[in-house]
Amino acid sequence: MDVVHERAAGMDISKRDAKVAVRVPGKRAGTFTTDVTTWGSTVGQILELIEFLEAQQVTTVVMEATSDYWKPFCFLMEDRLPVMLVNAKQARNIPGRKTDVSDSAWLAQLAAHGLLRPSFVPPEPIRQLRDLTRARAVAVRDRTRQVQRLEKFLESSGIKLSAVASELTGASSRAILDALVAGERDPQQLAQLARGTLRNKIPQLVEALQGRFTDHHAFMVTEYLTQIDTATGMIDRLTARIEDAIAPFRLARQALTTIPGISTAVAEVIIAETGADMAVFETPGHLASWAGVCPGSNESAGRVKSSHTRPGDKYLKAALGVAAMSVSRAQGTYLAAKYRRIAARRGPVLAVVAIEHAILTAAWHMLRNGEVYTDPGADYCTRLNPQKATNRAIRQLQNLGYNVTITPAPA
């Protein structure tokens, strides 16, 4: 097998240290020696490791993406050494012979022969934006959990506010909860705190607010509301910071929001997770495969064993899922018609994945070629093949027991 890199290094990284195997030419022609050393994971020791590898004149450094422990090594080395981050699954060692030392030597050997593909590591501005959008996603999830816990706890007091109000965090609901905590127990007085369209439901509110709300309930509700307010403040601060970090990509964000289902927040996640540079992904299919929104391949002896979607970027998949569900409730767009067409044949779960794939394909073309999204229209498939649509309609009527005779309408 051809040797691509005569001087290669492989790293097996843990929380406290890293095993570094350096593979260099031996004394005899065509032979190679591998020396494994242990280095700490602190910044000072990583800098010493960089100087050591530079002295060894290595032309590639390979490390596995192990949890988050690879980050200080990769980020400190990327400006001085040719670093390659690889998927641990693609560099799996022989079972039964796996140790940290053998793993590092195995990585060095694979790197020397060019048998590994690098993982996508975005540049620093994108990494910062990604940190912000991921932190916001976690904060939104935590806030939602606290709201759900509050709703469940109110059931123990007999207060059925969530059965009448659409959300417990709205202005009316918050005013009512604050009044309950302050000591107000009269359902009539509490219902009068409703605002906007909720005032049309004052009789239902009066009935829903007749509960057994004690001082214990007031204390617990105060704690839940405090946590909700804390999460809300964090979300607002992160959103403001994202607005500053997204400045170089505002035009891309604006373009992405023209795709049905894509909100500003979803567009920001797409940019943060993909880097907005589609040159990294050769085709839309490569991007969809990397994101995990396309069927996997597992075929042996002509038999397909599984076609489950591949694991991918969970933050990007979650954002695309939000967009796809928004599309599923919309009307009059190509994506909405596509969702209903697929859901009728394959079910809603596969239809959501198909819409995620379609959205990501559109985003690739827009970011790669500077194209503007133009919706083909809900009747696109009908216009593309009118005879097929006609035959489908005839079959549906025949299945209902009708004899169908069609006559072309006069021009």
Q: What is the CA radius of gyration of the chain?
A: 29
Average pLDDT, the chain: 89
pLDDT for res 120:
84
pLDDT for res 254:
92
C-alpha dihedral sign at 121, 124, 130, 135 = positive
Which DSSP letter does residue 309 get? B
Tell me which of 3.60.10.10, 2.40.30.10, 3.30.420.10, 3.40.50.2000 is the CATH number of domain 8-112: 3.30.420.10
Rounded to an integer, the average pLDDT of 68-97 is 82
Rounded to an integer, the average pLDDT of 57-67 is 87
CA–CA distance, 282 with 396 (Å, rounded to integer): 42
Pairing, β 60-64 against β 32-40 = unpaired
pLDDT for res 383:
84
Which DSSP letter does residue 377 get? -
**Contact (CB, 8 A) for 317 and 291:** yes
Task: Indicate the length of the chain as a whole number.
Answer: 411
Could you give phi then psi for residue 361, rounded to 5 degrees?
-65, -45
For the cut 80, the answer to whether the pLDDT of residue 96 exceeds it is: no
Dump pLDDT digits (tens) for 106-125: 888 888 888 888 888 888 99
Dump pLDDT digits (tens) for 331-357: 889 999 999 999 988 899 999 999 999
What is the percent of the chain with per-residue pLDDT over 90, rounded to a whole number?
Answer: 56
Stretch among 185-194, 279-288, 307-316 having the lowest mean pLDDT: 307-316
User: Is residue 20 exposed (0-12), middle (13-18) or buried (19+ Cβ within 10 Å)?
Assistant: buried
Confidence label for 4 from pLDDT (cuts 50, 70 and 90): confident
Dump pLDDT digits (tens) for 253-268: 999 999 999 999 999 9
Q: Find, among 175, 155, 187, the residue nearest to 225 by Cα.
A: 175
pLDDT for res 104:
85
pTM here?
A: 0.84
Quickly tell me which residue has 């359902």 as its tokens: 187
pLDDT for res 311:
79
Rounded to an integer, the average pLDDT of 392-408 is 85
For the cut 70, the answer to whether the pLDDT of residue 95 exceeds it is: no
Q: Helix, strand or coil for residue 405?
A: coil
For the cut 70, the answer to whether the pLDDT of residue 14 exceeds it is: yes
For the cut 80, the answer to whether the pLDDT of residue 298 exceeds it is: no
For residues 78 and 27, the model is more confident at 78
Each domain of the chain, given as residue ranges in start order, spans 8-112, 125-245, 250-298+305-369, 385-411
pLDDT for res 51:
93
Stretch among 72-86, 181-195, 218-232, 296-310 having the lowest mean pLDDT: 296-310
